[in-house]
Structure 1
């Protein structure tokens, strides 16, 4: 199981990426707006109907996730952050 991690508001993402997981400050600082925007399309699937019924169907819906890939190799999911900064 992955270790628990601190939750924070998407508006704080820019500040959060300035530190490594061990708390050390990242040098040079990262400007997420300068990192390349990438998209990933995933699917969330649910069974519609009883599991035992052969007429039940699996229905999948797309979920778009956005990431910023920086020159230093850092990749950060920014889906919620992008919504805040587009306004």
Structure 2
């Protein structure tokens, strides 16, 4: 079973990435805004109709995921953070 992960508001992501999973501080500190923005499209698929009905269809919708890839190999999903960050900049 995977270890429990602390839930936190996306606005606190910048503070959370300053620490390794073992609690040690990252050196040098990470500025997510300076990390390269990457995109990934995933698909969420649902069966529309009963499983037994041959006329039922699988309908898939794209989900855009955003990541920041930083020096030193750190990659962080920032999908929710980007929206908050964009609003704060405007």
Give the TM-score category using the shorter length: over 0.9
SS for the counterpart of 1:66 is: strand
Shift of 1:75: 0.1
Any stretches of 5+ residues in structure 1 without a counterpart? none
Shift of 1:57: 0.1
Any stretches of 5+ residues in structure 2 without a counterpart? none
Aligned length: 87
Please give the TM-score of this superposition, normalised by the length of structure 2: 0.95
Quote the Cα distance in structure 2 between the aligned partners of 1:35 and 1:27: 15
Quote the Cα distance in structure 1 between the aligned partners of 2:23 and 2:43: 34
Show the counterpart of 2:32.
32
Show the counterpart of 1:53.
53
> Stretches of 4+ moved more than 2 A in 1?
none
Show the counterpart of 1:68.
68
Quote the Cα distance in structure 2 between the aligned partners of 1:22 and 1:52: 49
Show the counterpart of 2:43.
43
Quote the Cα distance in structure 2 between the aligned partners of 1:53 and 1:61: 21
- What is the alpha-carbon root mean square deviation over aligned residues? 0.5
Show the counterpart of 1:12.
12
